[in-house]
Amino acid sequence: DVKVTQSSRYLVKRTGEKVFLECVQDMDHENMFWYRQDPGLGLRLIYFSYDVKMKEKGDIPEGYSVSREKKERFSLILESASTNQTSMYLCASESPGQGPNGYTFGSGTRLTVV
């Protein structure tokens, strides 16, 4: 069964800490995405990547950065965590070339910044 794996299910970090959220997919997908999910706001795109070492900003990139050194791994970095970054973070991957196939999502990381 194909998978998108997020390294942590729950995280609690302090304000000002640098936070790394890891995502690994085993489907050889080119496209990977990071979203945050907040009640009443749905999913909002933070960053995405179409290839290794390639990244593009989504709708809410402020306060975040990403890294994609290998095809299967896409990391989200909170440079200096703040309380308004408390949220559920979802990673997804997708294979292009056949039209939008829909995403495969990870289980999510619920981050609390205190």
Least Cβ distance, residue 17 to another protein (angstroms): 26
Contacts 24+ apart (CB under 8 A), 39-43: 43/90
Which position has the token pair 């994609």?
68
**Binding residue for another protein, selected from 17, 52, 80, 96, defined by CB under 8 A:** 96
Q: Which is nearer to another protein, 11 or 105 (CB)?
A: 105
**Are the CB atoms for 4 and 106 separated by under 8 Å?**
yes
**Binding residue for another protein, selected from 1, 14, 42, 84, defined by CB under 8 A:** 42
- In angstroms, rounded to a whole number, what is the distance separating the alpha carbons of residues 102 and 82? 31
Least Cβ distance, residue 44 to another protein (angstroms): 8
Q: Is 99 in the site for another protein (CB under 8 A)?
A: yes
- Binding to another protein, residues 7-36 (CB under 8 A): 31, 33, 35
- Binding to another protein, residues 54-83 (CB under 8 A): 58
Least Cβ distance, residue 52 to another protein (angstroms): 15
**Are the CB atoms for 23 and 34 separated by under 8 Å?**
yes
**Are the CB atoms for 92 and 33 separated by under 8 Å?**
yes
- Phi and psi angles of residue 85, each rounded to the nearest 5 degrees, phi first: -100, 5
Which stretches of the chain bind another protein, using CB under 8 A? 4, 31, 33, 35, 40-45, 48, 50, 58, 90, 92, 94, 96, 99-103, 105-108
